[in-house]
Amino acid sequence: MEEALANLNLLNEEEEAFQEDVRTVDHVYSLCLVGCCLTDSVVHFPSLRNTLADLWHPIKGICISDLGGKRFLFQFFHEVDIQRVLLGTPWFFNIHLLLLHRIQPGENPLLVPLNLANCWVQIHDLPPGLMTVSMAEQFGNFLGQFLDYDMSFSSKGFHTFMHIKARLEVSKPLKRKKKILILTDRVIYARFQHEKLSLFCFICGKLGHGESFCPFRTSIEPSKIGFGRDITLWAATRRQSVSASKWLQDADGSD
């Protein structure tokens, strides 16, 4: 009986919670980014730390830490510095795309998903009358999430394509075109060109690996694997409903 009472008292002590101001905990990450490189290869942390610190060169300095699991914590000391880095995306390290996320209150930097990247995309083969803000938003949301429409080309009298910024989910193949119906009888296709692509697979259309390491390659006969004439043709998605051979044929320009 005495032993049971002793255990009961111990449990009561364990249930007495410490109190801490949540705002103080969240403040630790108020000027922090968590990031990783889009690659399955090992990333040399000292080299990454020195390269990015020199590249970004924040006015108030930066502290870069290795969190393990190929994740890195970037702690800034002024809002101006962290905003400049975010506005300058996408960033790369050794040709690998750097995925960055600003830590929000209550988020754990070890658990927050890192699968989004901001990318500038050119939209070609559009009639001038369709180069509107409304169309830019539709294209951006089709690609992922619309962020910005660069209209500087229009102001300079150079307006052969739209230039938008979108947030893309890197786990999905890149999209290459979108069908547009004008009025009721005219059909055109807008063609996408993604700028500043990092390591890119010409077979599956995904970022983060090359053709030699593409899992999809093992399901195709080697004789049917082809390579496009330029990166523009291959900056495109393979739709899940389309067979591998059909996508390879389309990407080679036969459509």
Phi, psi dihedrals of residue 216, rounded to the nearest 5°: -70, -20
**Tokens found for residue 199:** 């390591």
**pTM, full prediction:** 0.71
Q: Residue 232 has what pLDDT? A: 36
Amino acid letter for position 103 = I
Q: For 96-147, what is each residue's pLDDT tens digit?
A: 999 999 999 989 999 999 999 999 999 999 888 888 999 999 999 999 999 9
Q: How far apart are CA 202 and CA 227, in angstroms?
A: 7
CA-to-CA separations, 138 to 132, 145, 244, in angstroms, rounded: 10, 9, 28
pLDDT digits (tens, 9 = 90+) for 31-40: 999 999 998 8
Does 233 have pLDDT greater than 70? Answer: no
Is the pLDDT reported for residue 95 higher than 90? Answer: no
**What domains, with CATH codes, occur in the chain?**
19-102 (3.30.70.330), 116-254 (no CATH)
For residue 22, what pLDDT is reported?
Answer: 55
Amino acid at 155: S
- φ, ψ at 101 (rounded to 5°): -145, 130
Q: In the prediction, which pLDDT does 202 show? A: 74
Distance CA 116, CA 170 (A): 6
252 vs 99, higher pLDDT: 99
Q: Which residue has the higher pLDDT, 147 or 2?
A: 147
Tell me the pLDDT band of 221, cut-offs 50, 70 and 90. Answer: low
Q: What is the pLDDT of residue 255?
A: 42
Predicted confidence (pLDDT) per residue in 134-191, tens digit: 999 999 999 999 999 988 765 555 568 899 999 999 888 888 899 998 888 889 999 9
Residue 123 and residue 192 in contact, taking contact as beta carbons nearer than 8 Å: yes
Give the span between the Cα atoms of 228 and 113, in whole angstroms. Answer: 33
From CA 47, how far away is CA 49, in angstroms rounded? 5
